[in-house]
A and B are shown apart, each in its own frame.
Chain A
Amino acid sequence: MINIGIPSKGRLRNDILKIFKKNKLNLISERGERDLLGSINNITKVKILYLHAREIVERLGDGSLDLGFSGYDLLKESEIITQKKINVIKKYNFGKANLVIAVPDPWIDVQTVADLEEIAFEFKDKKKKRLRVATKYPNLTREFLFSKGVTQFKIVGSLGATEAYPFTGSSEIITDITSTGETLSANNLRVLKDGLILKSEACMMRSKSALKSSILNKIVKLLSKN
């Protein structure tokens, strides 16, 4: 049996479903739209699993999915050991979003990551605290900040509504995924000039331990056309 993972909700799910449809792969679920299991019409031995986009990456990593669709950001955020077990086959032209660093807009003296580096040391030396960064992407954030000289900070894990953190006293700055930047500016945050951590888009990924199957190869080929 070949297992294929598709995001269970959101825009990413809809966009992925579209490319299946476009390539005449008809997805069916016995119990309707909310069913988390499905199959492809007229193709046996393929199971479709509707999962959280983050979980799709994990399941590709442990080999319980053979093929999966998720965001490039989520792949890069996963542990190295997971990333090593996954090949990106196709980057799509949708699901585009950037992971960025944003600071409170009133911090007019902070325009670049270099400014942030100074502020981080000010927090440490003068306030005896560490600058707190709220994020759903601790790994990518930590690596990026460190590579830019910001070594003194503390990650605050966030599960959502990260934009509110600086104004509720939970963190000073954030990193978050954004496509237009509207949510950020609506929440009085500003992206740093050189604050782009990662460009992301929807991807088709294959587990390195995926079954060797001509059906799978055929599906991959079809869906690679975009």
Chain B
Amino acid sequence: MKSKNLSEKILKLVKSKGFKYIDLPSVVEANHIVQRSGENFRKFIFSFIDQNGSELCLRPDLTIASCLRYLENNLRGKEKIFYSGQAYRKSNNKKDSIIRNQIGFEIIGSKDEKNDDKEIINTAIKSLSDLSYSTGTLKIGNIEIFNLLISKLDIPKRWKLRLSRHFWREDYFNDLLKRLETNSDVDPTIVEVDKKRYLKMLKDNQQTIFAGRSIKEILKRFDNKIKDPRGTSKGKNVSKIIKEFLKINCPINEAGEKLNFFFKKNKINLVVDQKYFPTSLNKIHKLNVEFSASFGRQLEYYTGMVFKIDIKLKSKNINVINGGRYDKLISDLGSKKQVPAVGAALNLNY
């Protein structure tokens, strides 16, 4: 966004909706980021060591910095906040800038989740009113529906967890589906050999620890694995259902109906009310509103509603806003209690 004026207008608008401006530190503890996103996220962060040997990094994301603020200041209750600034992230794509200018707004610690979702989306749409775009799309997804579907499928529990965990990583998720369709994951010959070992280990002291895991723990998981094998034909069917689900894409006012038809057809005991979605309007201002079942994969931390807004500006398609619900982020960062949170970030790099 070239004009400073415009970004000021946006900030003013967000403020007028009752959000409070906060300052966020530019540097955060790298450990927080790696703890939450895994070791591989290191590739994207700019990190360095301070004089005490602690690893710090430039904030790769304003949402994380904001959630850390909530956590570290022992804040409680509902907060409506907004902030603006730069996030820093390495990228393999040469075209991406390592500095990302963002404006973000969030509602943290409120239990009124459905209304908060609506408020964040409405604020996001309003914040675009000073941009002279011709058309655009508001795409809405929901990771909770995906997880509910997975919980109802006829596959071993470990596979359910695995599919839920990796929904956000599309390539690996597709690999998982392929594996689900093909061979079973328990090798009978190896199981025979290990069973002898299993019986022997049963006689050992169950509290003995090997590299952080007790014999009891190891044998329990071994037992579960053998008692809960996965058949190939079932796997094929489950994979088919998941793929069909991920193809659901429609105007938002048909989302409930489409999903319920799908659940009924596949004999899945789930019903979704149209009111579950933050809106049922197919057109808001210049934006077409769509539901997409596969949407929501760009970040690991989203847990429920997710959305993005793409607009056409000077004949270019621009992803201008991304947002969603991340109810587990603050607890993942170290809070004992789960703190509901929903927010959106406006991308100013165009």
Residue A35 CB within 8 A of the other chain? no
Q: Is the CB of A166 within 8 A of B211?
A: yes
Q: State the majority secondary structure of interface residues on B.
A: helix
Q: Is the CB of B215 within 8 A of A142?
A: no
Q: Is the CB of B172 within 8 A of A111?
A: no
Residue of B nearest to A108 (CB): B194
* Docked pose: A102 CA to B201 CA in angstroms: 20
Residues on A with C-beta less than 8 A from B210 are 104, 106-107, 166
Residue A87 CB within 8 A of the other chain? no
Known: A118-B161, A121-B165. A152 touches B38 (CB 8 A): yes
Residue B50 CB within 8 A of the other chain? no
Residue of B nearest to A80 (CB): B92
Q: Is the CB of B39 within 8 A of A167?
A: no
Q: Is the CB of A107 within 8 A of B218?
A: yes
Q: Is the CB of A108 within 8 A of B218?
A: yes
* Docked pose: A207 CA to B215 CA in angstroms: 51
Residues on A with C-beta less than 8 A from B221 are 109, 118
Residue of A nearest to B223 (CB): A109
- Residue of A108, A115, A148, A172 near B211 (CB, 8 A) is A172
Residue B4 CB within 8 A of the other chain? no
Residue A114 CB within 8 A of the other chain? yes
* Docked pose: A151 CA to B98 CA in angstroms: 23
Q: Is the CB of B211 within 8 A of A173?
A: yes
Residue B261 CB within 8 A of the other chain? no
Q: Is the CB of B39 within 8 A of A153?
A: yes
- Residue of B35, B162, B212, B218 near A117 (CB, 8 A) is B162
How far, in Å, is A57 (CB) from chain B's closest CB?
20
Residue A123 CB within 8 A of the other chain? yes
Residue A112 CB within 8 A of the other chain? yes
Q: Is the CB of A172 within 8 A of B218?
A: no
Residue B258 CB within 8 A of the other chain? no
Residue A146 CB within 8 A of the other chain? yes
Residue B48 CB within 8 A of the other chain? no
* Docked pose: A30 CA to B329 CA in angstroms: 64
Residue B40 CB within 8 A of the other chain? yes
Known: A106-B201, A117-B162. A151 touches B40 (CB 8 A): yes
Residues on B with C-beta less than 8 A from A136 are none
What's the interface size class on A, roughly? Answer: 35 or more
Known: A109-B222, A127-B212. A146 touches B187 (CB 8 A): no
- Residue of A151, A171, A173 near B38 (CB, 8 A) is A151
Docked complex: B182-239 residues within 8 A CB-CB of A: 185, 187, 190, 194, 197-198, 201, 210-213, 215, 218-219, 221-222, 225
Residue B69 CB within 8 A of the other chain? no
Q: Is the CB of B201 within 8 A of A108?
A: yes
Q: Is the CB of A112 within 8 A of B40?
A: no
* Docked pose: A217 CA to B287 CA in angstroms: 64
- Residue of A111, A118, A155 near B158 (CB, 8 A) is A118
Residue A130 CB within 8 A of the other chain? yes
Residue of B nearest to A170 (CB): B211
Known: A146-B40, A166-B211. A108 touches B161 (CB 8 A): no
Q: Is the CB of B39 within 8 A of A155?
A: yes
* Docked pose: A104 CA to B213 CA in angstroms: 10
Residue of B nearest to A146 (CB): B40
Residue of A nearest to B200 (CB): A108
Q: Is the CB of B197 within 8 A of A108?
A: yes
12 contacts between A and B (CB under 8 A): A104-B211, A107-B218, A108-B219, A109-B218, A111-B190, A114-B179, A143-B40, A149-B165, A149-B175, A154-B34, A166-B211, A173-B211
| Given A108-B194, A152-B39, 15 more pairs with CB closer than 8 A | A106-B210, A107-B213, A109-B219, A109-B221, A112-B185, A117-B162, A121-B161, A121-B165, A146-B39, A146-B40, A147-B172, A154-B39, A171-B211, A172-B211, A172-B212
